[in-house]
Amino acid sequence: MTFENLEIIEPILKALKEEGYTHPTPVQEQSIPIILKRNDIIGCAQTGTGKTAAFAIPILQILKAESNTVRNARSIRNLILTPTRELAIQIGESFSAYGKYTGLKHTVIFGGVTQYSQTEALKAGVDILIATPGRLLDLISQKFIHLHNLKIFVLDEADRMLDMGFIHDVKKVIAQIPKKRQTLLFSATMPPEIVKLADTILIDPIMIAVTPVSSTVDVIDQAIYFVDKKDKNALLSHILKDKSVLSALVFTRTKHGADKVVRYLEKEHISAEAIHGNKSQNARQRALTNFKAKKTRVLVATDIAARGIDIDELSHVINYEIPNIPETYVHRIGRTGRAGLSGIALSFCDEEEKEFLRDIQRLISMKIPIMDEHPFPLIAGQHELVIEKRSSARNRNNNQGSLRRDKPYRKNYTTYK
Ligand code: AMP
């Protein structure tokens, strides 16, 4: 399958070639034809699967075709609602890349900064608006934004909107957009409240689901370090002494844990910054920018903060703690090995985390190689890691909900085959 097979128009094909995209990813292959046919869609897909392009490419194509036939003044015809500033900026960058030969204009608005440059861009006229909910409502009430010409509405990371307490704002936005429209909803998980919302805002949606599991895991070199909890910091700095670790995204379970790791690394003269929910938007964005620009070598993150962050050319993911939800492991390590590049994922496992590791190995159907030549080995019980037949640790520990796989969540929705 190529983008030509998907009947993508020349100005977009040219831009995709320049981006180095040769083949559509599975989520793109599934979504693009459905969106071009103007169907509503529910996409169960994580960042890292190519989901942004899966909606950006057909939206650009639809709006371009419409601009060619109807020559009105520019107005907002597509609204993309996304939970965080980081995601909004990344989506904006994708539109800049894929849409550069289409003549369509987009802008990105989010809170935490002054509104002046945003309102100036809006006054100049845009076709596509990428927004976080709070600032959007604010600028609508100030009459800088009019959505009466809206044709396509995208609700991105719907479950995360819910997590972050934005669902009320989302509903307020939906109340202000035309009822006759195409709606695309993307969500990694489908908690009941999102199912309810989907029922009210979509019409005969087609459901597509991509499992990130085996595809991402295959290209990543993984290793386990059995280590005592108290030795994890020392092991981390030992690993980071190796200059071939060009950039590392380190995952901790808690915000407090992330800060502690950063403080330790700073003492060891290793440049590191933390990114988590207690940091301001500006601090998070700065940490991310420094990391992407390779000014900081190590970014320490919690799962929620790191979700949706797109970092090209990340050499290493380090699980300072093993996640208790096996799918989280897959999402974490999928940060490296992006778009066909190989990557390395190292996991520190202490005695108490061995049960989480068993669950992960069951999920990915493979044994992760053990790295036993390191200065801080965990002596007791290192080699007892056998797949046990007993109630899984996941069932006992999973109180965060888990990823839905490839099943439609409601039988009367059409499912992509
Ligand atoms: P996303 O899931 O939208 O965050 O995309 C993940 C990464 O994959 C981004 O860095 C994209 O630039 C890249 N990407 C998206 N589609 C393709 C494709 N068809 N070929 C290669 N890379 C892609």
Q: Delimit the domains of the chain by residue range.
A: 4-212+406-415, 220-384
Ligand 1 centroid to residue 48 C-alpha, Å: 6
Ligand 1 centroid to residue 201 C-alpha, Å: 27
Residue position matching structure tokens 């992330």: 258
What stretches of 81-166 show up as alpha helix (H) in DSSP? 85-98, 116-124, 133-141, 158-163
The verdict on domain 4-212+406-415 having CATH code 3.40.50.970 is no
pLDDT attached to residue 67? 82
pLDDT attached to residue 333? 87
pLDDT attached to residue 338? 64
173 contacts 137 by C-beta, under 8 angstroms = yes
- 220-384, CATH topology level: Rossmann fold (3.40.50)
Ligand 1 centroid to residue 170 C-alpha, Å: 26
Residue position matching structure tokens 């003549």: 103
Residue nearest ligand 1's atom 14 by CA = 50
- Long-range (24+ apart) CB contacts under 8 A made by 211-214 are 211/403, 211/405, 211/406, 212/45, 212/46, 212/48, 212/49, 212/330, 212/331, 212/334, 213/327, 213/330, 213/363, 213/364, 214/364, 214/365
DSSP code of residue 167: H
DSSP code of residue 377: B
Mean pLDDT across the chain, nearest whole number?
85
Q: Which residues of the chain are modeled with pLDDT < 50?
A: 213-215, 382-417
Residue nearest ligand 1's atom 22 by CA = 339
CB atoms within 10 A of CB 220: 19
Ligand 1 centroid to residue 8 C-alpha, Å: 17
The pTM of the whole model exceeds 0.85:
no
Contacts of 108 (CB under 8 A, 6+ apart): 88, 89, 91, 92, 118, 130, 131
CB atoms within 10 A of CB 365: 9
Among 1, 52, 184, residue to substitute to test ligand 1 (most atoms within 8 Å of Cβ): 52
pLDDT attached to residue 413? 31
Residue position matching structure tokens 């005695």: 351
- Give backbone dihedrals phi and psi of 185, rounded to 5 degrees, phi first: -115, 125
Going across the sheet that includes 206-209, the strands are 106-109, 128-131, 78-81, 152-155, 182-186, 41-44, 206-209, 414-415
Residue nearest ligand 1's atom 20 by CA = 21
Q: What is the pLDDT of residues 155-207, one digit of tens each?
A: 999 988 888 889 999 999 999 999 999 999 998 877 788 889 999 999 999 99
pLDDT attached to residue 397? 34
Ligand 1 atom nearest to CA at 94: 12
Residue position matching structure tokens 């793109």: 28
Ligand 1 neighbours, Cβ below 6 Å, are: 21, 23-25, 28, 47-53, 310, 312, 338-339
Residue nearest ligand 1's atom 15 by CA = 50
Classify the C-alpha dihedral 345-349-353-358 as positive or negative.
Answer: positive
Find, among 257, 256, 290, the residue nearest to 273 by Cα.
Answer: 290
In 3-state terms the chain splits into helix, strand, coil percentages (rounded to 5) of 40, 15, 45
